[in-house]
Amino acid sequence: MRAVIVAVGVAFLISLFCTPIAIKVFARLKAGQPIRSNLGLASNEGKKGTPTMGGVVFILATVIAYVAGHLALTTLPDLQIAQVEPTITALVLLGLMVFSGAVGFIDDFLKVRKRHSGGLNKRGKLLGQILVGAVFGVVALYFPSTMTDAKGTATNTETVGSTTLSFIRDIPALELTKVGAVILFIFVVMAATNGVNLTDGLDGLATGASVMVLAAYGLIAFWQYRHWCADPSYTRDYCYAVRDPLEIALIAGAAAGACVGFLWWNTSPARIFMGDTGALGLGGLIAGMAMSTRTIMLLPIIGGLFVIITMSVVIQIISFKTTGKRVFRMSPLQHHFELAGWSEVNIVVRFWIIAGICVAIALGLFYSEYLANVT
């Protein structure tokens, strides 16, 4: 727990105090977010020129906080050595965040350079997401843990990901091949990155929702660490067969802390936007959290707000192409309510409430499954 707290605190402070520096740097570089003024959205007024690519700050803060958390771990001599040293789990999770963010950075850079909201074309962005998902999906499924006890006996041979579909844990009846599991993971990465990206658009909306989702995964991972099958001191039959749960909790906590620090400057009226850099980076990390905690089918509940907003876009497209009519005034859903006369702050707060309810339901399901098996 000490290491997680250190990571959260370091990430928060770096993000809080470095974001103003990023605002000045991006403003000097004229890296302002291109704004379409013909949409009739009240939230767009006065936002032209607001610096974008702010996701760079909380991505770097997360990586630095991870290192700080590991320095704190070295002061705990009774901890498993495989949890003290950097692991493949950290490589996968941080790699997903950094390289998904890199795809978003290219998109943001092209928008700024062209002074147009187009950015990277859909095919390029899609190929980038597929490549990131495929590379880290392979790493997650083909490199098992080598944790051993004092006698040299293997105590944990888990991979970061699993070839089995999972809800609260792996479901043995839903076994996939490794190739099938990698394809599934690519889909999860694409869904999560696009879900967070579509949710972004109002000041603080995606950032605040991501804080709740990441905090939930931090709690899930830490609970798994306290009830971990590979822990020689844990004697109960009921445990979680995952790899490096403390690593997952540390990274989830660091990312959540970094987002809270960024939210100080990103909330209405935003002084900086996360851009696709931040949205895709957060989506990639959230996808990795679902895979590494073996809760892939729980992700649509934890990230319920992202699902709702994504489905509003899907419904709008299908309806318009099949009937020529629009279900919503505009999609994504937050802009429908803008055109209905809701203020930006009201929409953000109410959507945060929805996100919090979804997270609470998911955590309730996770804990209920544990209670059902230990009582």
Q: Are 193 and 269 in contact (CB under 8 A)?
A: no
CA 274/CA 255 separation, integer angstroms: 14
The answer for 145, left when phi > 0, alpha when psi is -120 to 50, beta otherwise, is beta
Query: Which residues, in sequence order, are bridge partners of residue 51?
Result: 32
* Residue 86 to residue 369: CA distance in whole angstroms: 30
SS3 for 157?
coil
- List the helix and strand counts (H, then E) for the chain: 13, 4
15 near 261, Cβ under 8 Å?
Answer: yes
Known binding residue 197? Answer is yes
Contact by Cβ (8 Å): 198, 305: no
Closest CA to 59 of 108, 97, 17, 107: 97
Q: Is 276 annotated as a binding residue?
A: yes
CA gap 126, 106 in Å, rounded: 13
SS3 of residue 137 by DSSP: helix
Reduced to 3 states (helix: H, G, I; strand: E, B; else coil), residue 147 is strand
Residues annotated within the binding site for Mg(2+) are 197, 276
Residues annotated within the binding site are 197, 276
